[in-house]
């Protein structure tokens, strides 16, 4: 296995119009390995002038790409998938060094990116229209056209997966794309541009590294047709407000405060395993779909908690770039102190700490942002820890007896991304699934995603659906044509 310093991307400038270009201001920022504090080098910071230049190049790319036959676009998408697969391990190593996710699991992220390119390559002819019967002297039909320049702004927790998997649908539909990677972990997106950029006509796929200023300029640009964000609720609201100025389309994949609900007839061992899996401790809980609120029925509460504590004890964190590591570290000092803040609040508000709750004392971990799996019991729905997204490795366990009160507590959250329901009774499962206000539900499962199954949130967890045909269609616009014969 190579070391991560061998595989970091060579290019650190902006990629647009098929070229690597310095930021006009000459400004750069640096990125660090969150496990060690070591610098991974610098990257260019795009400002509004760079954004304008890149959008214009993307528009040129769009005019070429939209004229490429869908089947020919699919050929290029499949080539991109193959290149990603060929470099899956190297990409995973970059992400593990830059974002703190464990190497072995980040390989799945590389493969997920490749799989999305293959999936959307297969859907290119599904952006189709219909006809309306209006009599012999009229032909009325619809067709779907690409939007133009689509912007994707991404969060830091799965940098490559988001860059690659969310590039596939806009490209399949014939749009040009500008990706803004997370400022905390931009390197794997630069590597994506190095690897697949040359497969496309110049300007079709572009990467602008930068912070909030770059994001804001992209959202406000009048020639951008759609902006899609994977990020936090406040950023989603800021983008929706800013996009209103030019009435561009907005897609939002935002936060979650997701519930796992265990009924008294469920198997406590399976619920415990599902709860730990659903909490995504592997990424320190930094996953929008994490089931961070565990609603356990009184009859099985103690047995499930026992199982959770055993499973959590067996979780070993380590350096993310090591092959054996099960759990990595958090992205930044800021995210770590946010987690510590929520833990302190939970203790103050009366929750009982039964696992974790303090940074590791081992000096190997002192330079990184490590935090152990942390579990609270005796959490009540009104506590801050039960209401707000921590985006850290903190699980809250709530006890219930009355089903109506429990469902009301589950739905009290303003967020509604995922839910996980555990029972052996099919009718109970379907009734609960219908009552829970969330967009993506597992019954007797947690955490997994399936290409083709629409992923997205209810309420303030977002707008739109991805990972499915809906994502492709949301990258198109419908035209109606009425022909008097």
Ligand X SMILES: NC(=O)c1ccc[n+]([C@@H]2O[C@H](COP(=O)([O-])OP(=O)(O)OC[C@H]3O[C@@H](n4cnc5c(N)ncnc54)[C@H](O)[C@@H]3O)[C@@H](O)[C@H]2O)c1
Which sequence positions are flagged as catalytic?
253
**CB atoms < 10 A from the CB of 104, how many?**
17
- CB of residue 331 vs ligand X: minimum separation in angstroms? 8
Displacement of CA 253 from its chain's centroid (Å): 7
CA angle, residues 254, 167, 185, in degrees to nearest 5: 65
Q: Which is nearer to ligand X, 174 or 210 (CB)?
A: 210
Q: Give the pairing type, strands 176-180 and 249-253.
A: unpaired
The verdict on 288 binding ligand X (CB under 6 A) reads yes
The verdict on 126 binding ligand X (CB under 6 A) reads no
Whether residue 271 contacts residue 300, with contact meaning beta carbons closer than 8 Å, is answered with yes
Stretch that binds ligand X, among 11-19, 93-101, 207-215, 394-402 (CB under 6 A): 207-215
Q: Which is nearer to ligand X, 305 or 395 (CB)?
A: 395
The verdict on 166 binding ligand X (CB under 6 A) reads no
The verdict on 322 binding ligand X (CB under 6 A) reads no
The verdict on 341 binding ligand X (CB under 6 A) reads no
| CA dist., res. 37 & res. 213, Å (int) | 25
Whether residue 259 contacts residue 364, with contact meaning beta carbons closer than 8 Å, is answered with no
The verdict on 238 binding ligand X (CB under 6 A) reads yes
- Residue with tokens 């009160």, as numbered in its chain: 405
Q: Give the pairing type, strands 394-400 and 374-377.
A: parallel
Whether residue 128 contacts residue 347, with contact meaning beta carbons closer than 8 Å, is answered with no
Stretch that binds ligand X, among 48-56, 179-187, 275-283, 430-438 (CB under 6 A): 179-187
Q: Which residue's CB comes closest to ligand X?
A: 215
Bridge partners, 151 (sequence order): 178, 227
Q: Which of 89, 183, 303, 340 binds ligand X (CB under 6 A)?
A: 183
Whether residue 440 contacts residue 450, with contact meaning beta carbons closer than 8 Å, is answered with no
Phi (first) and psi of residue 187, to 5 degrees: -70, -40
The verdict on 284 binding ligand X (CB under 6 A) reads no
Whether residue 250 contacts residue 185, with contact meaning beta carbons closer than 8 Å, is answered with no
Stretch that binds ligand X, among 6-14, 211-219, 266-274, 425-433 (CB under 6 A): 211-219
- CB of residue 266 vs ligand X: minimum separation in angstroms? 26
Size of the chain, expressed as the number of residues it contains: 485
CA angle, residues 94, 96, 101, in degrees to nearest 5: 150
Dihedral (CA of 407, 413, 417, 422) sign? negative
Quote the tokens at residue 353: 């700490």
- CB of residue 456 vs ligand X: minimum separation in angstroms? 7
Q: Which is nearer to ligand X, 169 or 406 (CB)?
A: 169
- CB of residue 438 vs ligand X: minimum separation in angstroms? 11
Among positions 385-424, residues that touch ligand X (CB under 6 A) are: 389, 391, 417
Q: Which is nearer to ligand X, 160 or 400 (CB)?
A: 160
The verdict on 174 binding ligand X (CB under 6 A) reads no
The verdict on 182 binding ligand X (CB under 6 A) reads yes
Among positions 240-279, residues that touch ligand X (CB under 6 A) are: 253-256
The residues binding ligand X (CB under 6 A) are 153-157, 180, 182-183, 211-212, 215-216, 219, 229-232, 235, 238-239, 253-256, 288, 389, 391, 417, 462
């Amino acid at each position: 296995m190579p070391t991560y310093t061998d595989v970091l991307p060579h290019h650190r400038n902006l990629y647009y119009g098929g070229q690597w270009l310095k930021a006009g201001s000459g400004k750069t920022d640096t990125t660090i390995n969150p496990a060690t504090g070591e610098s991974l080098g610098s990257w260019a910071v795009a400002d509004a002038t760079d954004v304008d230049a890149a959008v214009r190049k993307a528009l040129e790319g769009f005019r070429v790409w939209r004229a490429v036959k869908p089947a020919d676009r699919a050929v290029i998408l499949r080539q991109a998938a193959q290149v990603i697969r060929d470099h899956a391990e190297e990409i995973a190593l970059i992400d593990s060094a830059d974002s703190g996710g464990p190497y072995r699991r980040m390989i799945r992220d590389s493969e997920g990116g490749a799989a999305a390119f293959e999936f959307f390559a297969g859907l290119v002819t599904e952006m189709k229209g219909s006809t309306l019967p209006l009599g012999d002297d009229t032909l009325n039909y619809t067709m779907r056209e690409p939007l133009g320049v689509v912007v994707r702004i991404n969060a830091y927790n799965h940098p490559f997966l988001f860059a690659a998997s969310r590039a596939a649908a806009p490209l399949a539909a014939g749009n040009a794309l500008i990706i803004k990677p997370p400022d905390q972990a931009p390197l794997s997106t630069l590597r994506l541009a190095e690897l697949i950029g040359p497969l496309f006509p110049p300007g079709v796929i572009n990467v602008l590294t930068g912070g909030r200023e770059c994001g804001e300029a992209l959202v406000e640009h009048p020639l951008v047709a759609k902006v899609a964000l994977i990020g936090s609720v406040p950023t989603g609201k800021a983008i929706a407000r800013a996009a209103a100025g030019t009435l561009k389309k907005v897609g939002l994949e935002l936060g979650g405060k997701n519930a796992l609900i265990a009924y008294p007839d469920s198997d406590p061992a399976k619920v415990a395993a599902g709860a730990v899996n659903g909490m995504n401790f592997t990424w320190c809980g930094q996953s929008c779909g994490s089931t961070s609120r565990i609603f356990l029925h009184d009859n099985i509460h103690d047995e499930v908690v026992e199982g959770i504590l055993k499973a959590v004890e067996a979780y070993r964190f380590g350096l993310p770039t090591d092959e054996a590591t099960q759990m990595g570290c958090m992205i930044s000092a800021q995210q770590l102190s946010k987690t510590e803040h929520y833990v302190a609040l939970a203790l103050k508000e009366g929750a009982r700490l039964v696992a974790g709750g303090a940074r590791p004392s081992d000096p190997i971990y002192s330079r990184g942002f490590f935090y152990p799996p942390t579990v609270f019991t005796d959490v009540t729905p009104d506590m801050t820890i039960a209401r707000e997204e921590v985006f850290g490795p903190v699980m809250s366990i709530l006890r219930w007896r009355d089903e109506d009160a429990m469902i009301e507590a589950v739905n009290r959250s303003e967020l509604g991304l995922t839910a996980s329901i555990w029972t052996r009774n099919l009718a109970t499962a379907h009734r609960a699934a219908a009552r829970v206000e969330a967009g993506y539900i597992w019954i007797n499962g947690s955490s997994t995603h399936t290409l083709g199954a629409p992923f997205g949130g209810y309420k303030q967890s977002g707008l739109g659906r991805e990972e499915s045909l809906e994502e492709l269609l949301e990258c198109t616009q419908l035209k109606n044509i009425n022909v008097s014969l």
